[in-house]
């Protein structure tokens, strides 16, 4: 059985004090949620405060990105060694905004994925198509390319922690959401590609999240589908009540 995972991507919002205030309000709301893995991905500056505030709880803290080198002259970057040292457990890799604004590629996603697995971090690898690519019928081509390069050279024996997040770029921050059938079809195709690239066993056990304007009122209809194992939540994760409701509705 694949344990559902609901991850919050706070993007460039919240100070350390605001992160602690969120967590103080959020934890009582999910105190009885044992069926779902919950991950908060705050800005890098908030990681330490968030890890301290969630210590001893079932809520995990992840980074929104990382470099793939252990150390070096890479000004402004954060390494997997550093994330391990402060107690982060997860990391987002290849989010569409990182690809769009910071020139991340399928090749850099591959480097980061290998580093995350080597350092025992749970990688949440983001893939997804733009509106023009969907409208021209190239969704599967885009996903195939992203997964083929992103997963290249990954040892199936070490791939068990892998999580994929399908985020149709046209549905991020736009208010648009893929219909449950569109999302399920994409997730099913992603699972088939993981089977080809890694193995059918890894494909069967890999959690695939949906990310694209997930809100409390659509979480249940999306997360109940056979190939959707949770959600990567953006704007709706900034409010503790809203995010707690998504966690609850995703396990209905």
**Other C-beta atoms within 10 Å of 156: how many?**
15
Interstrand relation of 59-63 and 37-41 (parallel, antiparallel or unpaired): parallel
Question: Residues near 162 by Cβ (< 8 Å), separated by ≥ 6?
Answer: 113, 117, 123, 125, 154, 202, 206
Q: Alpha-carbon distance 19 to 64, whole Å?
A: 15
129 is catalytic: no
* DSSP helix/strand/coil, 149: helix
> Which ranges constitute the DSSP H helices of the chain?
16-29, 47-53, 80-86, 96-102, 106-118, 131-135, 139-150, 180-197, 200-205, 216-223, 240-250
Contact 236, 7 (CB under 8 A): no
Check 37, 60, 90, 95 and give the catalytic one.
95
Q: Measured between alpha carbons, how far is 20 from 30 in angstroms, rounded to an integer?
A: 15
Q: Is 69 labeled as catalytic in the residue annotation?
A: no
DSSP conformation class of 112: H
Q: Which of 37, 129, 133, 167 is catalytic?
A: 167
- The total of other beta-carbon atoms located within 10 Å of residue 158's CB is 12
Distances (CA, A) of 223 to 58, 97, 115: 20, 23, 29
By annotation, the residues acting in catalysis are 95, 167
């Amino acid at each position: 059985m694949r344990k559902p995972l609901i991850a919050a991507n706070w993007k460039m919002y919240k100070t350390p004090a605001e992160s602690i205030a969120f967590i103080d309000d959020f934890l009582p709301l999910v105190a009885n949620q044992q069926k779902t893995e919950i991950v908060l991905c705050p800005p890098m500056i908030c990681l330490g405060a968030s890890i301290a505030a969630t210590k001893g709880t079932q809520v995990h803290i992840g980074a929104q990105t990382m470099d793939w080198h252990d150390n070096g002259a890479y000004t402004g970057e954060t390494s997997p060694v550093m994330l391990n040292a402060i107690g982060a457990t997860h990391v987002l890799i290849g989010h569409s905004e990182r690809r769009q604004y910071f020139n991340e590629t399928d090749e850099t996603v591959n480097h980061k994925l290998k580093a995350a697995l080597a350092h025992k971090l749970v990688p949440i690898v983001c893939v997804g198509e733009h509106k023009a690519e969907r409208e021209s019928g190239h969704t599967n081509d885009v996903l195939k390319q992203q997964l083929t390069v992103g997963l290249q050279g990954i040892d199936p024996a070490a791939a068990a922690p892998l999580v994929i997040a399908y985020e149709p770029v046209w549905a991020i921050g736009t208010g648009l959401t893929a219909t449950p059938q569109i999302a399920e079809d994409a997730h099913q195709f992603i699972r088939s590609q993981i089977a080809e690239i890694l193995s059918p066993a890894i494909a069967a056990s890999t959690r695939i999240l949906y990310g694209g304007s997930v809100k409390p009122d659509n979480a249940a209809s999306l997360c109940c589908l056979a190939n959707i194992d949770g959600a990567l939540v953006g704007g709706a994760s900034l409010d503790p009540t809203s995010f707690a409701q998504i966690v609850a509705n995703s396990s209905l």
